[in-house]
Structure 1
Amino acid sequence: MVTGGKSLRKVHETLCPDCKPIRTTFWIMIFASIHFFLCLLPNFNSISGVSLVAAVMSLTYSTIAWTASLKKGVHEHVDYSPRGKTTNDHVFNFFSAMGDVAFSYAGHNVVLEIQATIPSTPEKPSKGPMWKGVVVAYIIVAICYFPVAFVGFYIFGSSVDDNILITLEKPSWLVAAANLFVVIHVIGGFQIFAMPVFDMIETYMVKEKKCSPSNVLRFTIRAIYIGLTMFVGISVPFFGGLLGFFGGFALAPTSYYLPCIIWLTIYKPKTFSFSWCANWFCIIAGVLLTITAPIGALRNIILQAETYKFFS
């Protein structure tokens, strides 16, 4: 919600610099309105086209981000020192940054949901195509992330925005196009991450509350969820802080250590074997991430909120 709204605002400001500025709140509401229509799509298979377009947009705008940065050249008076001024700043920023990493490389809850929809037989188990898909996915993720990280830091240093495309100003048409690609990407990303939540809530309402499955129930539940996330996005539009917080608090458990706990419980590998050590390493690191990342992110949000006016 926050990314989509801010990217839409950047497109407007880039293409029409003399126009009257529009509040970020309104841009987030415009972005959310798109999802009130897309939420009518029933399941993962129905959003495959949206997902494909989102993936292509991700490659496109990340490539624009680092190539345009190289074209711009090193920023005047670039500073490569850490943003914090004290040891406490460095420590908490590090915690928040680890939450960003957890958010960026998370999504295994969605991976499991996708695998559950793939036909699987003893002759052709779903783990075959899933393994190929995961390998290709992480290669693409690396192609998207690493050039942006290295080039962005080289060009802008520690002054770069949470979203590097917000920092870029010229060429204006290219920056506007890249931000529009971001909007398209996060439209698909929102639906992909929300679909398991939709399914879980609808299943609960039908099985536990004995509601009749219908399009009305589907739209009502999904519209309420979208409305709530829109309200949170409007109230706390701190992109970097939210990434770190949700990366550590919500996504680290499902991506980094709960699967390892399940693996150890079911397969019971030999103590001190490679599999045993690797899984326990992920469990310890994941738990530490879940504790420290939200602390660092919340501190950053609180510091940013000191100068923030709600619904501005």
Structure 2
Amino acid sequence: MTKDVEMAARNGGNGAVAGEAYYPPPPAQGGDADVDDDGKQRRTGTVWTASAHIITAVIGSGVLSLAWATAQLGWVVGPITLMLFAAITYYTSGLLADCYRAGDPLTGKRNYTYMDAVASYLSRWQVWACGVFQYVNLVGTAIGYTITASISAAAINKANCFHKNGRAADCGVYDSMYMVVFGVVQIFFSQVPNFHDLWWLSILAAVMSFTYASIAVGLSLAQTISGPTGKATLTGTEVGVDVDSAQKIWLAFQALGDIAFAYSYSMILIEIQDTVRSPPAENKTMKKATLVGVSTTTAFYMLCGCLGYAAFGNGAKGNILTGFGFYEPYWLIDFANVCIVVHLVGAYQVFCQPIFAAVETFAAATWPNAGFITREHRVAAGNGKRLGFNLNLFRLTWRTAFVMVSTLLAILMPFFNDILGFLGAIGFWPLTVYFPVEMYIRQRGIPRYTTR
């Protein structure tokens, strides 16, 4: 897989926008207002659309586990860890944004994907390593979001059942059916050919993430004020009371993985930056968007983690809105879970678009004359030619297959906290810290062992 990914990154580097990967870009014309300096369709993204993409990517299923994560670490280590991860993410995202263009920040060659940036600055084996970490993480995120969306959809059914029949009722449901429905919805959305055409979905998803995070904060605050509340301590879950010593160590590391996952979006930062218009320079816009996105999400994370821990103490559930620490008002819990499902529909696409682009770019470069791969078929809707869409058979087949496989894997691995912790553990350090720092050092020519 990594060899394919690297070849896709090196073949012109136009994988960030999947639908445009089928044709080599025409030479830019000075008087053409519809194209950018690289001959591609003019980018129209702003600070606000980039911020929406970031918030959509960052505030995901990770926010729901932060009360549990804080419970494993306690009042001291929990909030400090949240702030530390936020600071690291913001700092290294700024370094990565500077690597979007090679050389001059206004006129240098664009790197369309994270892999393009790594290939521009680092060695061949580092490109391979990046491919493994990035695409394993992206595929894992797709699986994790499928699990989370299905759990939230099932929680709606459970909340209504508990409200009707009482809290002692048997209200168990199978999550698999909801995963299949989520997969079917994603099959349709995955046919959108261009990443920048999803701006409206990201804005809707960002609004949904604000909504359900606010509901979680509000319910936790109400529980903290009205009681009863769980027992909270400076060090979190207590050895000999809540867990044994081995469990304490394991769950503390899993909590760190959950927090790392909650902040992981660097693997798609370059793809988001490639939707931003210029001037001003894309790195300046992206740094502003990162400040808005990371500061906003950190505020919600602190509120969700700390208030959730204050409300439920060391017994905080792994998913604050589906673990049924809250039962009433059931209609508000239903609405919050609907918002989660809608948000994850958009977030799934934000994370999967780089996967789609890499595979389609590689296929187009390898078989440029294959009509099955390169030809776009115009499908008209109604009598007018204006209404309709472009259908590519390879895109239809490959993206449908990917969604089906990720849905099947989600059905086979329905473990919420474990999946999040695993993804955070394998992805945060290499993708958010190591590669951005290494690329920035190479770009600026910073000598070893110097103060800078």
Question: TM-score, normalised to structure 1's length?
Answer: 0.81
Structure 1 residue 77, shift from structure 2 partner: 5.3
Tell me what 1:12 maps to.
Answer: 157
- Are 1:103 and 1:252, in contact at CA under 8 Å, matched by a contact in 2? no
2 CA distance for matches of 1:240 and 1:30? Answer: 22
Contact preservation (8 Å) 1:65, 1:164: yes
Give the number of the structure whose alpha-carbon radius of gyration is greater: 2
CA contact 2:230–2:313 (8 Å) conserved in 1: no
- In 2: Cα distance, 1:195 partner to 1:170 partner: 38
- Distance in 1, Cα, partners of 2:451 & 2:337: 44
Q: Which residue of 2 aligns with 1:147?
A: 303
Following TM superposition, by how much is the alpha carbon of 1:196 offset from its aligned partner in structure 2, in angstroms? 0.7
- The one-letter amino acid paired with 1:58 is S
Q: Which residue of 2 aligns with 1:46?
A: 197
Residues 186, 273 of structure 1: alpha-carbon distance in 2 compared, 3 angstrom cutoff: farther
Residue in structure 2 matched with residue 82 of structure 1 by the alignment = 237
Q: Is the 8 A contact 2:205 2:342 kept in 1?
A: yes
Cα distance in 1 for partners of 2:438, 2:450 equals: 15
Offset, 1:146: 0.8
1:227 and 1:252 map into 2 onto residues whose CA distance is 30
Runs of 4+ in 1 over 3 A off after TM superposition: 16-22, 73-81, 270-275
If each structure's helix is expressed as a fraction of its own residues, which one has the higher value?
1
- 1:30-87 alpha-carbon deviations (Å, 9 max, x no partner): 1111101111111221111110011111111111102112223444554644176333
Deviations 1:226-249 (A, max 9, x none): 111111111111111101111122
CA shift for structure 1 position 88: 2.4
Which residue identity does 1:146 align to in structure 2? M
Larger deviation, residues 21-30 vs 112-121: 112-121
Q: Counterpart amino acid of 2:438?
A: I
Partner of 1:202: 360
Q: Is the 2:191–2:395 Cα contact (8 Å) retained in structure 1?
A: yes
**1:106-145 alignment runs, 5 A limit:** 106-120=264-278, 124-145=280-301
TM-score (structure 2 length as normaliser): 0.57
Alignment of 1:63-102 (within 5 A): 63-73=214-224, 74-75=227-228, 78=231, 80=233, 81-82=236-237, 85-102=243-260
Q: 1:267-306 counterparts in 2 under 5 A?
A: 267-273=444-450, 275=452
Aligned pair partner of 1:216 in 393, 403, 412: 393
1:103 and 1:248 in contact (8 A); partners too: yes
Partner-residue secondary structure (3-state), 2:293: helix
Distance 2:447 2:173 in 1: 60
Across the aligned residues of Structure 1 and Structure 2, the Cα RMSD in angstroms comes to 2.1
Find 2:426's aligned residue among 249, 274, 278: 249
Q: Partner residue of 2:168?
A: none
CA contact (8 A) 2:212 2:339 kept: yes
Partner of 2:213: 62
Aligned length: 273
SS for the counterpart of 1:237 is coil
The range that moved more, 76-85 or 253-262, is: 76-85
Instruction: Give 1:272 shift.
Output: 4.2
Q: Secondary structure of the equivalent of 1:118?
A: coil
Number of the residue aligned with 2:412: 235
Decide which of 318, 341, 344 is 1:162's aligned counterpart.
Answer: 318
Unaligned stretches of 5+ in structure 2? 1-145, 166-170, 377-391
How far apart, in 2, do the equivalents of 1:250 and 1:136 lie?
23
